[in-house]
Amino acid sequence: MSLRRLSLFLVLSILPSIAYGGSLKIAVVAPQAGNLAILGAQIVEGAQLAAGDRTSLVIIDESCAENSGAALAEKIRQAQAVAAIGFLCTDSLEGALPTLTGAAIPAITLSVRSSILMEDAIKKGWPLFRLAPSPTAEREKIIEAIFENWKDQPFAILDDGTITSRETAETIREALEQKGMKAAFIDNFRPAQEVQTQLIRRLAKAGVTHVFAAADRNDMSIMARDSKAANLPMVFMGGDALNAADQLVPLEKGVFAVTLPDYATFPFAKAAYEALKAKEKPADGYVLPAHAAVTILTDAYEIASGSGAPLTQALVETPFETTVGPIMFTGKHELATNPFVLLQWNGSSFVSPAVTE
Protein backbone atom coordinates (compact mmCIF):
# COMPACT_ATOMS: atom_id res chain seq x y z
CA MET A 1 0.00 0.00 0.00
CA SER A 2 1.41 3.41 -0.96
CA LEU A 3 2.02 6.16 1.61
CA ARG A 4 -0.88 8.15 0.10
CA ARG A 5 -3.25 5.21 0.49
CA LEU A 6 -1.93 4.45 3.98
CA SER A 7 -2.70 8.06 4.97
CA LEU A 8 -6.18 7.77 3.51
CA PHE A 9 -6.69 4.49 5.35
CA LEU A 10 -5.82 6.14 8.66
CA VAL A 11 -8.20 9.04 7.97
CA LEU A 12 -11.04 6.76 6.94
CA SER A 13 -10.52 4.50 9.93
CA ILE A 14 -11.92 7.18 12.26
CA LEU A 15 -15.13 7.54 10.24
CA PRO A 16 -18.30 5.63 11.13
CA SER A 17 -17.89 2.04 10.04
CA ILE A 18 -19.93 0.23 7.44
CA ALA A 19 -20.08 -3.57 7.17
CA TYR A 20 -18.16 -5.14 4.32
CA GLY A 21 -18.13 -8.80 3.53
CA GLY A 22 -17.32 -11.21 0.74
CA SER A 23 -15.81 -10.40 -2.61
CA LEU A 24 -16.47 -7.25 -4.57
CA LYS A 25 -19.31 -7.43 -7.08
CA ILE A 26 -19.49 -4.74 -9.76
CA ALA A 27 -22.40 -4.17 -12.13
CA VAL A 28 -21.26 -3.53 -15.69
CA VAL A 29 -23.98 -1.40 -17.28
CA ALA A 30 -23.65 -1.46 -21.07
CA PRO A 31 -25.82 -1.87 -24.18
CA GLN A 32 -26.11 -5.50 -25.25
CA ALA A 33 -28.16 -4.99 -28.42
CA GLY A 34 -28.81 -2.42 -31.11
CA ASN A 35 -26.47 0.19 -32.58
CA LEU A 36 -24.54 0.64 -29.33
CA ALA A 37 -23.89 -3.07 -28.76
CA ILE A 38 -20.37 -2.82 -30.16
CA LEU A 39 -19.55 -0.20 -27.51
CA GLY A 40 -21.18 -2.33 -24.85
CA ALA A 41 -19.01 -5.27 -25.88
CA GLN A 42 -15.91 -3.09 -25.45
CA ILE A 43 -16.96 -2.18 -21.91
CA VAL A 44 -17.60 -5.81 -20.98
CA GLU A 45 -14.28 -6.94 -22.48
CA GLY A 46 -12.29 -4.38 -20.52
CA ALA A 47 -14.17 -5.01 -17.29
CA GLN A 48 -13.70 -8.78 -17.50
CA LEU A 49 -9.99 -8.41 -18.15
CA ALA A 50 -9.55 -6.20 -15.08
CA ALA A 51 -11.77 -8.28 -12.80
CA GLY A 52 -9.70 -11.45 -12.93
CA ASP A 53 -10.17 -13.52 -9.78
CA ARG A 54 -10.43 -10.51 -7.45
CA THR A 55 -13.79 -9.18 -8.53
CA SER A 56 -17.07 -10.65 -9.75
CA LEU A 57 -19.14 -8.94 -12.42
CA VAL A 58 -22.80 -8.85 -13.29
CA ILE A 59 -23.69 -7.60 -16.77
CA ILE A 60 -26.72 -5.31 -16.92
CA ASP A 61 -28.15 -4.36 -20.31
CA GLU A 62 -28.46 -0.61 -20.86
CA SER A 63 -31.24 -0.07 -23.38
CA CYS A 64 -30.85 3.73 -23.34
CA ALA A 65 -34.64 3.91 -23.65
CA GLU A 66 -36.43 6.86 -22.11
CA ASN A 67 -37.40 6.34 -18.45
CA SER A 68 -35.43 3.08 -18.23
CA GLY A 69 -33.06 4.23 -15.49
CA ALA A 70 -35.12 3.31 -12.43
CA ALA A 71 -35.65 -0.29 -13.59
CA LEU A 72 -31.97 -0.55 -14.48
CA ALA A 73 -30.96 0.63 -11.01
CA GLU A 74 -33.30 -1.89 -9.40
CA LYS A 75 -31.56 -4.69 -11.32
CA ILE A 76 -28.23 -3.46 -10.00
CA ARG A 77 -29.58 -3.37 -6.45
CA GLN A 78 -31.14 -6.83 -6.67
CA ALA A 79 -27.88 -8.23 -8.04
CA GLN A 80 -26.29 -7.02 -4.77
CA ALA A 81 -23.61 -5.13 -6.67
CA VAL A 82 -21.44 -2.87 -4.53
CA ALA A 83 -20.72 -0.45 -7.39
CA ALA A 84 -21.47 0.05 -11.08
CA ILE A 85 -19.56 1.16 -14.16
CA GLY A 86 -20.46 1.92 -17.77
CA PHE A 87 -23.52 4.09 -18.38
CA LEU A 88 -23.19 5.33 -21.95
CA CYS A 89 -26.51 7.19 -21.94
CA THR A 90 -27.46 10.27 -19.94
CA ASP A 91 -31.15 9.39 -19.56
CA SER A 92 -30.59 5.95 -18.09
CA LEU A 93 -27.85 7.21 -15.78
CA GLU A 94 -29.92 10.12 -14.48
CA GLY A 95 -32.90 7.86 -13.88
CA ALA A 96 -30.79 5.28 -12.05
CA LEU A 97 -28.98 7.59 -9.66
CA PRO A 98 -31.73 8.16 -7.03
CA THR A 99 -32.09 4.41 -6.46
CA LEU A 100 -28.34 3.86 -6.48
CA THR A 101 -27.96 6.65 -3.94
CA GLY A 102 -30.48 5.04 -1.61
CA ALA A 103 -28.56 1.77 -1.84
CA ALA A 104 -25.16 3.51 -1.41
CA ILE A 105 -23.94 2.18 -4.76
CA PRO A 106 -21.41 4.49 -6.48
CA ALA A 107 -21.45 4.67 -10.27
CA ILE A 108 -18.59 5.48 -12.65
CA THR A 109 -19.68 6.68 -16.07
CA LEU A 110 -17.29 6.16 -18.97
CA SER A 111 -19.14 8.37 -21.42
CA VAL A 112 -21.61 10.95 -20.08
CA ARG A 113 -20.20 14.49 -20.22
CA SER A 114 -23.28 16.48 -19.18
CA SER A 115 -22.35 19.37 -16.89
CA ILE A 116 -25.94 19.70 -15.64
CA LEU A 117 -26.03 16.07 -14.52
CA MET A 118 -22.81 16.40 -12.54
CA GLU A 119 -24.03 19.62 -10.93
CA ASP A 120 -27.25 17.85 -9.91
CA ALA A 121 -25.23 14.89 -8.60
CA ILE A 122 -23.17 17.06 -6.28
CA LYS A 123 -26.20 19.08 -5.17
CA LYS A 124 -28.29 15.98 -4.42
CA GLY A 125 -25.49 13.83 -3.04
CA TRP A 126 -25.60 11.26 -5.83
CA PRO A 127 -22.51 8.98 -5.83
CA LEU A 128 -21.66 9.64 -9.48
CA PHE A 129 -18.05 9.72 -10.65
CA ARG A 130 -17.01 10.69 -14.17
CA LEU A 131 -14.12 8.92 -15.89
CA ALA A 132 -15.08 10.77 -19.09
CA PRO A 133 -13.78 14.31 -19.66
CA SER A 134 -15.85 17.24 -18.46
CA PRO A 135 -17.63 19.25 -21.19
CA THR A 136 -15.13 22.10 -20.78
CA ALA A 137 -11.95 19.99 -20.77
CA GLU A 138 -11.32 20.05 -24.52
CA ARG A 139 -11.64 23.83 -24.82
CA GLU A 140 -9.45 24.36 -21.76
CA LYS A 141 -6.68 22.24 -23.27
CA ILE A 142 -6.95 24.03 -26.64
CA ILE A 143 -6.56 27.39 -24.90
CA GLU A 144 -3.55 26.07 -23.03
CA ALA A 145 -1.97 24.64 -26.20
CA ILE A 146 -2.35 27.87 -28.18
CA PHE A 147 -1.16 30.03 -25.29
CA GLU A 148 1.93 27.91 -24.63
CA ASN A 149 2.98 27.40 -28.25
CA TRP A 150 1.75 30.33 -30.37
CA LYS A 151 2.47 33.38 -28.22
CA ASP A 152 4.69 35.01 -30.83
CA GLN A 153 2.82 33.73 -33.89
CA PRO A 154 0.17 35.51 -36.01
CA PHE A 155 -2.74 33.11 -35.63
CA ALA A 156 -6.32 32.76 -36.80
CA ILE A 157 -9.42 31.37 -35.11
CA LEU A 158 -12.00 29.86 -37.46
CA ASP A 159 -15.40 28.24 -37.00
CA ASP A 160 -17.70 26.49 -39.45
CA GLY A 161 -20.84 28.44 -38.52
CA THR A 162 -22.49 25.70 -36.47
CA ILE A 163 -23.51 26.48 -32.88
CA THR A 164 -20.96 24.19 -31.25
CA SER A 165 -18.12 25.34 -33.49
CA ARG A 166 -19.00 29.00 -33.02
CA GLU A 167 -19.20 28.64 -29.23
CA THR A 168 -15.86 26.84 -29.16
CA ALA A 169 -14.16 29.54 -31.22
CA GLU A 170 -15.68 32.34 -29.13
CA THR A 171 -14.69 30.71 -25.83
CA ILE A 172 -11.11 30.28 -27.05
CA ARG A 173 -10.93 33.84 -28.38
CA GLU A 174 -12.17 35.38 -25.14
CA ALA A 175 -9.86 33.28 -22.96
CA LEU A 176 -6.79 34.09 -25.05
CA GLU A 177 -7.57 37.81 -25.09
CA GLN A 178 -7.78 37.75 -21.30
CA LYS A 179 -4.26 36.30 -21.40
CA GLY A 180 -3.08 39.07 -23.72
CA MET A 181 -3.18 37.09 -26.98
CA LYS A 182 -5.24 38.52 -29.81
CA ALA A 183 -5.90 36.64 -33.03
CA ALA A 184 -4.76 38.27 -36.26
CA PHE A 185 -7.76 36.84 -38.11
CA ILE A 186 -11.19 35.71 -36.86
CA ASP A 187 -13.86 34.43 -39.22
CA ASN A 188 -16.07 31.54 -40.17
CA PHE A 189 -15.83 29.35 -43.25
CA ARG A 190 -18.27 27.36 -45.32
CA PRO A 191 -17.98 23.69 -44.35
CA ALA A 192 -18.18 20.67 -46.67
CA GLN A 193 -16.57 22.51 -49.60
CA GLU A 194 -14.39 20.71 -52.14
CA VAL A 195 -11.74 23.44 -51.97
CA GLN A 196 -10.77 26.16 -49.49
CA THR A 197 -8.20 27.98 -51.65
CA GLN A 198 -9.92 31.35 -51.26
CA LEU A 199 -9.88 31.00 -47.47
CA ILE A 200 -6.19 30.10 -47.50
CA ARG A 201 -5.37 33.17 -49.60
CA ARG A 202 -7.30 35.41 -47.20
CA LEU A 203 -5.37 33.95 -44.28
CA ALA A 204 -2.06 34.48 -46.06
CA LYS A 205 -3.00 38.06 -46.96
CA ALA A 206 -3.65 38.73 -43.27
CA GLY A 207 -0.16 37.44 -42.48
CA VAL A 208 -1.44 34.36 -40.65
CA THR A 209 0.96 31.45 -40.19
CA HIS A 210 -0.94 29.45 -37.55
CA VAL A 211 -4.60 28.44 -37.73
CA PHE A 212 -6.96 27.00 -35.15
CA ALA A 213 -10.18 25.77 -36.74
CA ALA A 214 -13.14 24.34 -34.86
CA ALA A 215 -13.70 22.03 -37.78
CA ASP A 216 -14.32 18.39 -38.57
CA ARG A 217 -11.60 16.18 -40.03
CA ASN A 218 -12.57 16.53 -43.68
CA ASP A 219 -12.75 20.34 -43.60
CA MET A 220 -9.38 20.47 -41.86
CA SER A 221 -7.93 18.05 -44.40
CA ILE A 222 -9.03 20.30 -47.26
CA MET A 223 -7.58 23.43 -45.62
CA ALA A 224 -4.22 21.78 -44.99
CA ARG A 225 -4.13 20.31 -48.49
CA ASP A 226 -4.93 23.63 -50.17
CA SER A 227 -2.39 25.47 -48.02
CA LYS A 228 0.30 23.04 -49.13
CA ALA A 229 -0.77 23.14 -52.79
CA ALA A 230 -0.69 26.96 -52.81
CA ASN A 231 2.81 26.91 -51.31
CA LEU A 232 1.49 28.91 -48.38
CA PRO A 233 2.68 26.78 -45.45
CA MET A 234 0.62 27.11 -42.29
CA VAL A 235 0.40 25.27 -38.99
CA PHE A 236 -3.10 23.87 -38.38
CA MET A 237 -4.71 22.81 -35.11
CA GLY A 238 -8.14 21.41 -34.36
CA GLY A 239 -10.02 19.66 -31.60
CA ASP A 240 -11.19 16.15 -30.81
CA ALA A 241 -13.29 16.04 -34.00
CA LEU A 242 -10.07 15.46 -35.95
CA ASN A 243 -9.63 12.09 -34.26
CA ALA A 244 -11.80 10.33 -36.83
CA ALA A 245 -11.45 8.39 -40.05
CA ASP A 246 -10.40 10.08 -43.28
CA GLN A 247 -13.26 10.90 -45.62
CA LEU A 248 -12.74 12.27 -49.11
CA VAL A 249 -9.36 13.88 -48.42
CA PRO A 250 -6.64 12.39 -46.19
CA LEU A 251 -5.36 14.51 -43.33
CA GLU A 252 -1.98 16.08 -44.04
CA LYS A 253 1.00 15.15 -41.92
CA GLY A 254 1.81 17.71 -39.27
CA VAL A 255 -1.75 18.78 -38.37
CA PHE A 256 -2.21 19.16 -34.60
CA ALA A 257 -5.23 18.01 -32.62
CA VAL A 258 -6.25 18.40 -29.01
CA THR A 259 -7.70 14.97 -28.41
CA LEU A 260 -7.60 11.92 -26.18
CA PRO A 261 -4.47 9.78 -26.52
CA ASP A 262 -4.36 6.18 -27.69
CA TYR A 263 -3.90 4.60 -24.29
CA ALA A 264 -2.93 1.26 -25.83
CA THR A 265 0.41 2.76 -26.85
CA PHE A 266 1.29 3.85 -23.30
CA PRO A 267 3.49 1.86 -20.88
CA PHE A 268 0.81 1.65 -18.19
CA ALA A 269 -1.49 -0.21 -20.62
CA LYS A 270 1.12 -2.69 -21.83
CA ALA A 271 0.03 -5.66 -19.71
CA ALA A 272 -3.63 -5.22 -20.62
CA TYR A 273 -2.77 -4.65 -24.27
CA GLU A 274 -0.67 -7.84 -24.42
CA ALA A 275 -3.45 -9.82 -22.73
CA LEU A 276 -5.96 -8.56 -25.29
CA LYS A 277 -3.56 -9.26 -28.13
CA ALA A 278 -3.17 -12.86 -26.94
CA LYS A 279 -6.95 -13.21 -27.18
CA GLU A 280 -6.92 -11.50 -30.60
CA LYS A 281 -9.02 -8.68 -29.17
CA PRO A 282 -8.39 -5.00 -30.01
CA ALA A 283 -7.93 -2.39 -27.28
CA ASP A 284 -10.51 -0.15 -28.94
CA GLY A 285 -12.92 2.45 -27.65
CA TYR A 286 -14.07 1.78 -24.10
CA VAL A 287 -11.99 -1.36 -23.45
CA LEU A 288 -9.19 0.32 -21.50
CA PRO A 289 -11.42 2.91 -19.73
CA ALA A 290 -13.66 0.05 -18.53
CA HIS A 291 -10.57 -1.81 -17.36
CA ALA A 292 -9.52 1.32 -15.48
CA ALA A 293 -12.93 1.74 -13.84
CA VAL A 294 -12.92 -1.81 -12.47
CA THR A 295 -9.34 -1.36 -11.25
CA ILE A 296 -10.29 1.86 -9.46
CA LEU A 297 -13.28 0.28 -7.72
CA THR A 298 -11.33 -2.84 -6.75
CA ASP A 299 -8.55 -0.79 -5.16
CA ALA A 300 -11.01 1.59 -3.49
CA TYR A 301 -12.98 -1.34 -2.09
CA GLU A 302 -9.81 -2.72 -0.54
CA ILE A 303 -9.17 0.63 1.16
CA ALA A 304 -12.78 1.04 2.28
CA SER A 305 -13.17 -2.51 3.58
CA GLY A 306 -10.04 -2.10 5.66
CA SER A 307 -11.41 1.02 7.36
CA GLY A 308 -15.14 0.35 7.33
CA ALA A 309 -15.76 3.70 5.65
CA PRO A 310 -18.07 4.23 2.66
CA LEU A 311 -16.73 3.17 -0.74
CA THR A 312 -17.64 6.60 -2.11
CA GLN A 313 -15.32 8.23 0.42
CA ALA A 314 -12.42 6.02 -0.68
CA LEU A 315 -12.91 7.11 -4.29
CA VAL A 316 -12.40 10.82 -3.57
CA GLU A 317 -8.91 12.33 -3.86
CA THR A 318 -7.23 8.92 -3.91
CA PRO A 319 -4.63 8.24 -6.63
CA PHE A 320 -5.19 5.07 -8.65
CA GLU A 321 -2.81 3.47 -11.15
CA THR A 322 -4.79 2.33 -14.19
CA THR A 323 -4.52 1.40 -17.86
CA VAL A 324 -5.40 4.98 -18.81
CA GLY A 325 -2.75 6.43 -16.53
CA PRO A 326 -2.87 7.82 -13.00
CA ILE A 327 -6.45 8.73 -12.05
CA MET A 328 -7.79 10.76 -9.15
CA PHE A 329 -11.30 12.10 -8.60
CA THR A 330 -11.80 15.54 -7.09
CA GLY A 331 -14.26 16.39 -4.36
CA LYS A 332 -16.74 17.12 -7.15
CA HIS A 333 -16.21 13.59 -8.52
CA GLU A 334 -14.50 14.84 -11.69
CA LEU A 335 -11.10 13.86 -13.07
CA ALA A 336 -8.40 15.82 -11.29
CA THR A 337 -6.27 15.93 -14.45
CA ASN A 338 -7.45 16.98 -17.92
CA PRO A 339 -7.16 13.87 -20.13
CA PHE A 340 -6.91 15.84 -23.38
CA VAL A 341 -3.44 16.26 -24.87
CA LEU A 342 -1.90 18.00 -27.88
CA LEU A 343 -0.99 15.43 -30.55
CA GLN A 344 0.21 15.59 -34.16
CA TRP A 345 -0.83 13.54 -37.17
CA ASN A 346 2.09 11.54 -38.63
CA GLY A 347 0.23 10.14 -41.60
CA SER A 348 -1.22 7.12 -39.83
CA SER A 349 -1.95 8.13 -36.23
CA PHE A 350 -1.85 10.98 -33.74
CA VAL A 351 1.39 10.98 -31.74
CA SER A 352 3.18 13.22 -29.28
CA PRO A 353 4.69 16.11 -31.27
CA ALA A 354 8.42 16.71 -31.37
CA VAL A 355 7.87 20.39 -32.24
CA THR A 356 4.70 22.35 -31.47
CA GLU A 357 5.27 25.55 -33.42
The pLDDT value given to residue 352:
94
Q: What are phi and psi of 342, to 5 degrees?
A: -90, 120
The pLDDT value given to residue 1:
45
Residues of the chain with pLDDT under 70: 1-22, 355-357
The pLDDT value given to residue 13:
40
Rounded to the nearest 10 degrees, what angle do helices 90-102 and 69-78 cross at?
40
Q: What are phi and psi of 96, to 5 degrees?
A: -85, -25
Domains along the sequence of the chain with CATH:
3-133+265-323 (3.40.50.2300), 137-259+341-351 (3.40.50.2300)
- Report how far residue 25's alpha carbon sits from residue 199's, in angstroms, rounded to the nearest whole number: 57
The answer to whether 350 touches 343, Cβ cutoff 8 Å, is: yes
The pairing of beta strand 341-345 with beta strand 350-351: antiparallel
- E strand residue ranges, 207-348: 210-214, 235-238, 256-259, 320-322, 325-327, 341-345
The pLDDT value given to residue 324:
98
The answer to whether 211 touches 234, Cβ cutoff 8 Å, is: yes
Question: Is 121 exposed, middle or buried (CB count within 10 Å of its CB: 0-12, 13-18, 19+)?
Answer: buried
Residue 258 Cα distances to 77, 138, 149, 261, angstroms: 39, 7, 13, 9
Return the amino acid letter for 62.
Answer: E
The pLDDT value given to residue 21:
54
